[in-house]
A and B are shown apart, each in its own frame.
Chain A
Amino acid sequence: MPSGYVGADVGCGNGKYIGVNPKLFMVGSDRSSNLISICGERGHEAMVCDGLSLPYRPQFFDFAISIAVIHHFINPERRTAAINEILRVVRVGGRVLIFVWALEQNGKREFEKDVQDVFVPWATPGQASKTKKSTSVKSPNPNSRPQGVKRKDRLKAKADQVRQDQQNEDQAQDSPDGQRSNAGESDITTSMAQLDLTGEEASKSSAKSQSDISSAVQETVVTADINGSASVQEALEPSSSLAPSPKVAPVYNRYYHLFRKGELEDLVKETKIANVVQQGYDRDNWWCIVEKTSN
């Protein structure tokens, strides 16, 4: 990007990409006021806002980025709407970089094969660092199937609010490289460590020390259709059925749609006002660079 370009980071989280190039001026927005507070402390320009309704004048920006955001929207309509809203505020000829989690990923995260809609526990930094020490991510216990939750009881239209402020204490943000970066030091592997740690392992851990780990880990695999009419709010509630102690900090689940190869490009094509000019796969993510062709 040329010096002096102005860009929007939509779903900027803690603002890790905002200051990357000091020759650019970037404005961040995120649904989570806690994450935006971190941006503010870092001196970044940022505001609290929902990605489906941005408060910017049309075509103001030279470019925009959407890093690990679109996969949190609950259905294809909302995912397309999110892309459309970004394109609305970018000028014709402007470019948008989009990263989403891939279904085909074979990194550290473990997902049920071919299941595209999943809940992933979002650990608070405190829990995460403790978990990290006690669990090997590379050798998950295959028998430890996390407790499933019937999706129709769980899923509602507000899935894309998964990143909202209920994740109190949270300071983390997903990043395309699979690392979880935040004001602290936890990374995404710790959240997967929690995912793997259930049943017997969890009991052992909690026997060692109740605060050692949250055994209230819960993975919700969404296998049925996504009609956007149930409540994800519920999925955000701390799971308590396995909790050995009320002292255990809650674990919140976040909704992800894991993108198949080509799916992101198809969404972009649906907007009819942008072309994919570059695309690829990078460490568990599909990404593409999109150029706006008309208003």
Chain B
Amino acid sequence: MRLITHNMLQCHVKGCNANNFPLDFQDVSLEQQEAELNEDFLRNMLGKIEYGALVATCLKLNITDLPSTMPADANTNEEFLQALHRVMLETHVISGKMVCPNCSHIYIIRDGIPNMLLAEHEV
């Protein structure tokens, strides 16, 4: 799972509707995998990502490549877009847990794949 995907995810347990993002990483192992850079995609993401959550998540994982606030010229800032690419698309979570900050539900990541299935009573 790439870090960009983590930024899309929220807890979806029934009734867990507030403070359910971002999920909190625990016991995570990371891997860098090279990917082709698509500037259109990165620019599109600027309006979609929760940048604060991304930075906070990165810091927790000891990734310090991103500035704490998004640069005003993010759209054209090559250096920033490259850092964003490296973080969001090339950084993979291979294993670990994602814990909901609200209801503490745990989502397991194994072999790079998050299991977001809920039990019957949680849906």
List the interface of chain A (C-beta within 8 A of B). 2-6, 22-23, 25, 27, 29, 31, 33, 36-37, 39-40, 45-50, 52-57, 60, 62
| CB<8 Å pairs between A and B, sample of 29 | A2-B40, A4-B38, A4-B41, A4-B44, A5-B44, A6-B48, A25-B38, A27-B5, A29-B116, A33-B113, A33-B115, A37-B113, A39-B113, A40-B113, A46-B113, A47-B1, A47-B114, A48-B116, A48-B117, A49-B116, A50-B117, A50-B123, A53-B12, A54-B12, A55-B9, A55-B11, A57-B9, A57-B50, A60-B8
Q: Which of A23, A46, A48 contacts B40 (CB 8 A)?
A: A23
What residues of chain A lie closer than 8 Å to B38, measured between beta carbons? 3-4, 23, 25
In angstroms, how far is the closest chain B Cβ from the Cβ of A97? 19
Chain B, residues 101-118, CB within 8 Å of chain A (1/0): the string is: 000000100011111111
8 pairs of A and B residues whose beta carbons are closest in the complex = A4-B40, A4-B41, A3-B40, A49-B116, A55-B116, A4-B44, A47-B114, A55-B12
In the assembled complex, B21 has its CB within 8 A of some CB on chain A: yes
What residues of chain B lie closer than 8 Å to A27, measured between beta carbons? 5, 8
Q: Which of A33, A53, A56 contacts B8 (CB 8 A)?
A: A56
Which B residue sits closest to A24, measured CB to CB? B41
Report Cα–Cα, A31/B115, bound state, in Å.
Answer: 10
In the assembled complex, B2 has its CB within 8 A of some CB on chain A: yes
Number of B interface residues in the complex (CB < 8 A): 31
Greatest chain B CB density within 10 A among A31, A50, A52 is at A50
In the assembled complex, B45 has its CB within 8 A of some CB on chain A: yes
What residues of chain A lie closer than 8 Å to B111, measured between beta carbons? 37, 40
Report Cα–Cα, A48/B111, bound state, in Å.
Answer: 12
Report Cα–Cα, A40/B10, bound state, in Å.
Answer: 21
In the assembled complex, B43 has its CB within 8 A of some CB on chain A: yes
Which A residue sits closest to B7, measured CB to CB? A57
Given contacts A45-B5, A54-B12, A56-B9, contact A25 B113 (CB under 8 A): no
Report Cα–Cα, A25/B3, bound state, in Å.
Answer: 13
In angstroms, how far is the closest chain B Cβ from the Cβ of A140? 38
Report Cα–Cα, A22/B89, bound state, in Å.
Answer: 14
Contact A57 B8 (CB under 8 A): yes
- Taking A23-B38, A47-B116, A49-B116 as known contacts, 18 extra A-B pairs with beta carbons closer than 8 A to each other, sorted by chain A number, are A3-B40, A4-B44, A22-B36, A23-B41, A25-B38, A37-B111, A37-B113, A40-B112, A47-B114, A48-B115, A48-B116, A50-B118, A52-B123, A55-B11, A55-B107, A56-B8, A57-B8, A57-B21
